[in-house]
Amino acid sequence: MPAGDFRSVGGRGTGSDAHGGAIHEIRADPNLRTGRRNRARRSYTRDVTHSSTRIPFGPPLAEADPEIAAAIRAEEARQSDGLELIASENFASEAVLEATGSVMTNKYAEGYPGRRYYGGCVHVDKAERLARKRAKKLFGARSANVQAHSGTQANMVAYLALLEPGDTFLGMALDQGGHLTHGHPLNFSGKTYNPVPYGVRRDTEQLDLDELHRLAREHRPRMILVGASAYPRIFPNPEIREIADEVGARVVTDMAHIAGLVAGGALPNPMPHSDIVTTTTHKTLRGPRGGLVLWNDRKLSKRIQSITFPGTQGGPMMHTIAAKAVCFHEALQPAFRDYARQTVANARELADALVEGGFRVVSGGTDNHIVLLDVRVRGTTGRAAERTLEAAGITANKNTIPFDPEKPMIASGVRLGTAALTTRGMRETEMRIVASFMVRALDGAGDRAALRRLRGEVAEFASGFPLYTRPAR
């Protein structure tokens, strides 16, 4: 490129800005003597540094905002010193964290790769194309949209693509294991559409497929939504597809909780039996917090793309999309298959150990990473059990169980998940130790001194499975 062509440094000519023009001219003219060039650059830097409008890029977070820095350090210590058993949480890799905190945070990129409403998108376009390519390969899908900010937004896109306001759909009831976006009356899905809930059998606490079939014949839904947030068993996707075809319904599978297990081959892939598959990218997939929409029918492409943008959002979060690409790449590696299988094995071992400890596990066991524990046998509630476990350094969440007599904020159960502990390298032997910690905590719920001692044991145990090699920020 000839001297004087300022595109070589990303400029647009000398322009009208004195500093911008000077720096471009200095970099572009090879005939300037080194001394003059360096003096000019030092002068340019000094002028900008002394500007009262310049953002202070230099100070680290601890100096720029000590309060937030302290909160982050404390959270990192909490994650490191405790046992994370919340089924919807996991630990992202350092590579995912690096991408999430990268300069792609700064880029506005409304639109899609190659068709943006802003310039300067060449590198974020590459990141988004990589994310889509890897997602499609990971789940065997023809098409992918990686822009959804969350699983809820991904589900919203699916609803808008397949339904009109007031249309009927079937979704698992929240108190039977479903999710807010599967038809809860306070959620958009319950307010905009006509949800008909299906659930589990009383005797097995597993999906009542006969009831689902009966409801489909009776209500002739436009869509059947498959998936849950507190269901420890596998959904029979081929059978549900047959029911949907019989009544002329579309199938949407929300695999937010099990996406990583599907990616790793530990659970069946719902993609061949679904019109649309939605998921989050954290949880078992172990990526950044975000959403993903997958589909095979090219006739849906234009509608799904336009509903996402401009239908339900403006500019995508390009730093998160870059981190999604990283997590998809990680999930495509052979080691991730070992992780997925171990996560399921750990859940089964944890369930067995808790049953041996005198607890009742809902549905009699688990097929995925979730263990739903009925704590009524200890004369307590889910809310009380959650607080007791947290006092001992064990994080879980209260959860309703099927046909629960308690209100959701009280609940009779605790939902557990093994994805995060498996990420730390724990296996079946450690699951039995974790179960023993839980039994001791819940048996000694009223003894604060005993819980403090147990918390120390938990921290010592957790220290054998360090999280991050980098120091706390």
Residues annotated as catalytic are: 108, 110, 254, 280, 283, 289
Sequence-distant (6+) residues with CB within 8 A of 46 are none
The answer to whether 146 touches 288, Cβ cutoff 8 Å, is no
Closest alpha carbon to 297 in 274, 318, 322, 328:
274
Burial class (CB in 10 A: 0-12, 13-18, 19+), 310: exposed
Helices 318-331 and 122-139: angle between axes, nearest 10 degrees: 40
Closest alpha carbon to 141 in 262, 229, 284:
262
Query: What are the φ and ψ backbone dihedral angles of 57, each rounded to 5 degrees?
Result: -70, -25
Query: In 31-110, where do the E strands start and end?
Result: 83-84
Structure tokens at 69: 């820095």
Structure tokens at 314: 């403006």
Dist. CA 25–CA 18, nearest whole Å: 11
Task: Catalogue the long-range contacts made by 134-137 (C-beta closer than 8 Å, 24 or more residues apart).
Answer: 134/325, 134/328, 134/329, 134/332, 135/292, 135/294, 135/324, 135/328, 136/294, 137/328, 137/332
> Cα–Cα distances in Å, from 429 out to 182, 235, 434?
36, 29, 9
Q: What DSSP designation does 312 have?
A: I
Residue at token pair 């319950």? 190
Helix, strand, coil in percent for the chain, rounding step 5: 50, 10, 35
The answer to whether 382 touches 399, Cβ cutoff 8 Å, is yes
Burial class (CB in 10 A: 0-12, 13-18, 19+), 313: middle
